[in-house]
């Protein structure tokens, strides 16, 4: 495997960063997770836009232009001869000293890893997922805005550990007021009648690229799509519930905190959106 690292393609073993890199010392950096399907990079420009927004927000100047980074992604897929892949794009503050001061970091570290996609078990999509809400609240936007896709994922990891400890694969995180935010690496949606609802970004969620695609597909399917504050009550009493993310795509949720959701199996709206999303990934994207 060849990894793009600071302008060069190097062997996997040589793809290393310094122990003084602030991405490692402080989680000071930003990243993206991108998919390619049959030679098409899905929503590449949307991912690059979000990466640049995250970087701009933490005052990290990416030393490449968007077209240059897009090229690095395309080349990563080509040199590794991948047609279906998961791509991790990372920009860290770079090497500094042991202090926090980002001014000591003069050159951001940029790398791109393109690897074969590890698909989730088919069973997950057929039977649906059982979730629990956890005690770890989602970061509040006033402290660390979840819209920044930063290398600092401890908030999510702590919630994931709680779910795993309790015997579940994924957790629902709430805001300090008890509103539903998102899962540890996926956005959440509910269907109630003709309404397709997902929490608004201001409550503390990542503006997922899959989330946006699903909202657009929902509108095309004549669903009434809205960003609304949701409580656990709203989840428990929804007809359908599902999660969205680049890696997971659309995952049906059938039980939350012991309550069966709807009919307890993937619902018709979820299935229709899954089918429409699959069509989209096959037809849309940047060729390489």
- Interacting residue ranges for ligand PXG, rule: CB under 6 A: 33, 156, 182, 185-187, 206, 208-211, 244-247
Q: How far is the CB of 99 from ligand PXG (least distance, A)?
A: 28
Strands 224-227 and 259-260: unpaired
- Decide whether 92 or 156 has the Cβ nearer to ligand PXG: 156
Whole-number CA gyration radius for the chain: 19
Compute CA distances 154 → 13, 45, 112, whole Å: 27, 27, 22
- Decide whether 25 or 51 has the Cβ nearer to ligand PXG: 51
Count the alpha carbons within 13 Å of 188 in the hemisphere toward its beta carbon: 33
- Decide whether 128 or 245 has the Cβ nearer to ligand PXG: 245
- Residue among 2, 43, 149, 160 flagged as catalytic: 149
Q: How far is the CB of 187 from ligand PXG (least distance, A)?
A: 5
Which SS3 state, helix, strand or coil, does residue 88 take?
A: strand
Q: How far is the CB of 227 from ligand PXG (least distance, A)?
A: 14
Identify the burial level of 193 via C-beta atoms within 10 angstroms of its C-beta, where 0-12 means exposed, 13-18 middle and 19 or more buried.
exposed
Q: How far is the CB of 5 from ligand PXG (least distance, A)?
A: 20
Alpha-carbon distance of 288 to 276, in angstroms, equals 23
Give me the long-range contacts of 15-21 (CB less than 8 A, separation at least 24): 15/111, 15/113, 17/92, 17/95, 17/109, 17/111, 18/95, 20/95, 20/96, 20/97, 20/98, 21/92, 21/93, 21/94, 21/95, 21/96, 21/109
- Decide whether 209 or 223 has the Cβ nearer to ligand PXG: 209
Q: At what angle do helices 268-283 and 209-220 cross, to 10 degrees?
A: 110
Asked if 43 is an active-site residue, the reply is: no
- Decide whether 96 or 252 has the Cβ nearer to ligand PXG: 252
- Decide whether 173 or 256 has the Cβ nearer to ligand PXG: 173
Count the alpha carbons within 13 Å of 239 in the hemisphere toward its beta carbon: 11
Q: How far is the CB of 35 from ligand PXG (least distance, A)?
A: 8
Q: How far is the CB of 111 from ligand PXG (least distance, A)?
A: 15
Identify the burial level of 126 via C-beta atoms within 10 angstroms of its C-beta, where 0-12 means exposed, 13-18 middle and 19 or more buried.
exposed
Among 22, 6, 49, smallest CA distance to 149 is for 49
Q: Maximum CA pair distance of the chain?
A: 56
Catalytic positions? 149
């Amino acid at each position: 495997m060849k990894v793009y690292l600071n302008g060069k393609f190097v062997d996997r073993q040589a793809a290393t960063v310094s122990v003084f890199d602030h991405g490692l010392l402080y989680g000071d950096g930003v990243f993206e997770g991108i998919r390619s399907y049959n030679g098409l990079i899905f929503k590449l420009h949307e991912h690059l836009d979000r990466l640049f927004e995250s970087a701009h927000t933490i005052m990290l100047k990416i030393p490449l232009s968007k077209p240059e980074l897009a090229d690095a992604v395309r080349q990563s897929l080509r040199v590794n001869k991948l047609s279906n892949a998961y791509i991790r794009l990372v920009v860290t503050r770079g090497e500094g000293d042991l202090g926090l001061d980002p001014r000591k970091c003069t050159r951001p570290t940029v790398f791109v890893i393109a690897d074969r996609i590890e698909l989730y078990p088919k069973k997950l999509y057929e039977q649906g997922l059982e979730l629990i809400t956890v005690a770890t609240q989602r970061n509040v936007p006033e402290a660390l805005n979840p819209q920044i896709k930063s290398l600092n994922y401890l908030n999510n990891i702590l919630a994931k550990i709680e779910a795993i400890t309790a015997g579940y694969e994924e957790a629902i995180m709430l805001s300090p007021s008890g509103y539903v935010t998102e899962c540890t690496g996926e956005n959440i949606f509910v269907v109630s009648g003709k309404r397709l609802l997902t929490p608004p970004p201001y409550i503390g969620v990542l503006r997922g690229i899959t989330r946006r695609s699903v909202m657009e597909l929902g509108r095309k399917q004549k669903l009434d799509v809205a960003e609304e504050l949701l409580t656990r009550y709203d989840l428990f009493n929804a007809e359908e519930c599902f999660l969205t993310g680049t890696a997971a795509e659309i995952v049906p949720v059938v039980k939350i905190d012991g309550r069966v959701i709807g009919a307890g199996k993937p619902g018709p709206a979820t299935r229709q959106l899954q089918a429409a999303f699959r069509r989209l990934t096959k037809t849309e994207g940047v060729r390489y």
